[in-house]
Amino acid sequence: MSAITTDISIPRHVAIVMDGNGRWARSQGLEKIAGHRAGAQAARELIPHARALGIEVLTLYTFSKENWGREDTEVQGLLSLIATELENSEQHLQELGVRFRVIGALDDFPPDMARGIRELEEKSQDRQGMTVVFALSYGARQDMTKAMKAIAEKAASGTISATEIDETMLKDHLSTAGLPEPELLIRTSGELRLSNFLLWELAYAELYFTTCLWPDFTPQHFDAAIESFTQRQRCFGKSRNV
């Protein structure tokens, strides 16, 4: 159960860079894939806890565009783990009433895997609980480039005029369209960077960094991040109340 005592509103949308799986595995004398498996377990345990707290959207940076550049054995192990985890978690997510959504370039994945992921996404669309977003083959720069190309094509065809292009239009062409912007970003393992994650959407998010490696991240660590968020004064560039 949550240890949060404040009555200040919790964030609607929390995004997490789940970092440190490889380092955790090395510290245990294990292969990297064991760290990724432990990380998947941490995510499974966090989802129902976040839902119980009233978080509306939880976005997990699961596999980045840049991850394709890792050693082939690690990439293949990750793909197998992602496919297995998504398939095995379907019943649990259904029981929780959790909606499943993917952002990223699914066409980068093997066709059967991409098709299976889309089917899982479609089956969950009528659920009314929390939305869990998996960022798969995701890169914020690539996502923004894709959005701008789509807008440019509409402008070139005369569907829209250049004067109609604004922030709202760009936002509506991103893969996160329809979701509230993240109010809190959590990154584990002590790294202090965004790593091409939700660069547009995180413009005014509160940032929370912890040295805890992702496989060791517990619901209690999540509570600490939420508690930190509730203690901050968000002014969005306006005058701060003092």
Residue 118 near residue 148, CB atoms below 8 Å: no
For 133, the token pair is 């977003």
What is the DSSP-derived secondary structure letter of residue 11?
Answer: P
Q: Is 19 a catalytic residue?
A: yes
Q: How far apart are CA 100 and CA 130, in angstroms?
A: 9
Q: How far apart are CA 230 and CA 210, in angstroms?
A: 17
Task: Name 104's Cβ contacts closer than 8 Å, sequence gap at least 6.
Answer: 63, 65, 135, 136, 137, 138, 139, 143, 175
Q: Is 67 a catalytic residue?
A: yes
How are strands ordered across the β-sheet holding 184-187? 99-103, 131-138, 57-64, 13-17, 184-187, 206-209
Catalytic residues: 19, 67
